[in-house]
Amino acid sequence: MVVADAQEQEFSLDQYLKEKKTIVEAALDQSVVIDEPVTVYEAMRYSLLAGGKRLRPILCLAACEMLGGTAEMAMNTACALEMIHTMSLIHDDLPAMDNDDLRRGKPTNHKVYGEDIAILAGDGLLSYAFEYVARTKNVPAERLLQVVIRLGQAVGAEGLVGGQVVDLQSEGKTDITEETLTFIHTHKTGALLEVCVTSGAILAGATEAEILKLQKYAQNIGLAFQIVDDILDITQTAEELGKTAGKDLDAQKATYPSIWGLEKSKAEAQRLTEEAIASLGEYGEGAAPLKALAEYIVNRKN
């Protein structure tokens, strides 16, 4: 009896990721349909459907479901988060930014469609993301408004854009402090991961206290995610990453391993993950997906 209970309670992250990835991929496929002018829609779909871990939509679904909401309530926002993430990758890869040829194991958007269309495909995804959230059915409009406000904050100069600007300005400088590096990453990477979790919670009708708790969880996994990203850039091959490896060294970018060394970076990522997991203590069984996702972030290989 006890054994059966234990088996019932066992949570398989592999199974969970597989299931969620399947429904997210199907929803993304339906979210952007080809229309006129065909080229820009094709370019949007090329990057949106190019694979990737789909971590951001899955975090949104997991937070919503943990707080009693449904996948249906969160799916438009989950897709919108992936649209925004994808557009940030398209723009990040442009010659004027990181100038990269490979993303998600495929040629980057501008390599296929040209810089002009790649910029516009990114713009198309960004604007459609907000429309797509607003089109959510069966969720009170007040919750959708909160999500739109937080998304705007996470993406604009207060978030991704601000982080990217400081990142570009820091390139090639040898005196970047830990404080600047943390500013870059909490804005460039952390802000979007944070809104993935908090938007899922808001859509489920979370209280202010619950949102704050999940915000803490998300901030910790956001920083851990970036530390691991820096580590993988120097320890994995391009084939394993699906993008160019060793970019940070080549661009003379300050990274956590360059400031702390590899061992301290690994230890710090682990500490942040444990803190994130501990902050979900009161949610019991229902927190299994978010806890396992935190572990996944620190142990991932790409």
Among the listed ranges 12-20, 47-55, 106-114, 287-295, the one in contact with ligand GRG (CB under 6 A) is 47-55
Among the listed ranges 19-27, 91-99, 110-118, 175-183, the one in contact with ligand GRG (CB under 6 A) is 91-99
Rounded distance, CA 91 to CA 188, Å?
13
**Minimum distance between the CB of residue 38 and ligand GRG, rounded to whole angstroms?**
24
**What is the 8-class DSSP label of residue 80?**
H
**Minimum distance between the CB of residue 205 and ligand GRG, rounded to whole angstroms?**
28
Our CB check for ligand GRG shows the closer of 91 and 253 to be 91
Among the listed ranges 1-9, 85-93, 132-140, 145-153, the one in contact with ligand GRG (CB under 6 A) is 85-93
The binder of ligand GRG chosen from 53, 106, 111, 216 (CB under 6 A)? 53
Q: Binders of ligand GRG: how many residues, by CB under 6 A?
A: 18
Question: What residues have CB less than 8 Å from 77, skipping those under 6 apart?
Answer: 60, 133, 136, 147, 199, 200, 203
User: Taking CB under 6 A as the rule, does residue 92 contact ligand GRG?
Assistant: yes
Our CB check for ligand GRG shows the closer of 204 and 245 to be 245
| Phi, psi dihedrals of residue 183, rounded to the nearest 5° | -60, -50
Give yes or no for a contact between 299 and 239, defined as CB atoms under 8 angstroms apart.
Answer: no
Contacts to ligand GRG from residues 107-166, by CB under 6 A: 126, 155, 160-161, 164
CB burial class (10 A; 0-12, 13-18, 19+) of residue 281? Answer: exposed
User: Taking CB under 6 A as the rule, does residue 229 contact ligand GRG?
Assistant: yes
Residue number of the CB atom closest to ligand GRG: 52
Contacts to ligand GRG from residues 261-290, by CB under 6 A: none
User: Taking CB under 6 A as the rule, does residue 81 contact ligand GRG?
Assistant: no
Our CB check for ligand GRG shows the closer of 84 and 203 to be 84
**Minimum distance between the CB of residue 218 and ligand GRG, rounded to whole angstroms?**
14
Please count the other Cβ atoms lying within 10 Å of the Cβ belonging to residue 189. Answer: 20
**Minimum distance between the CB of residue 299 and ligand GRG, rounded to whole angstroms?**
13
Please count the other Cβ atoms lying within 10 Å of the Cβ belonging to residue 44. Answer: 27
Give yes or no for a contact between 104 and 52, defined as CB atoms under 8 angstroms apart.
Answer: yes
Rounded distance, CA 66 to CA 61, Å?
8
Rounded distance, CA 11 to CA 66, Å?
14
Provide the mask over 168-207, with x wherever binding to ligand GRG is found by CB under 6 A and - wherever it is not. Answer: --------------------xx------------------
Sign, CA torsion 95/97/98/103: negative
**For residue 161, which of 204, 196, 126, 210 has the smallest C-alpha distance?**
126
Rounded distance, CA 32 to CA 83, Å?
10
Question: Which residues form the interface with ligand GRG (CB under 6 A)?
Answer: 52-53, 55, 85, 88-89, 91-92, 97, 104, 126, 155, 160-161, 164, 188-189, 229
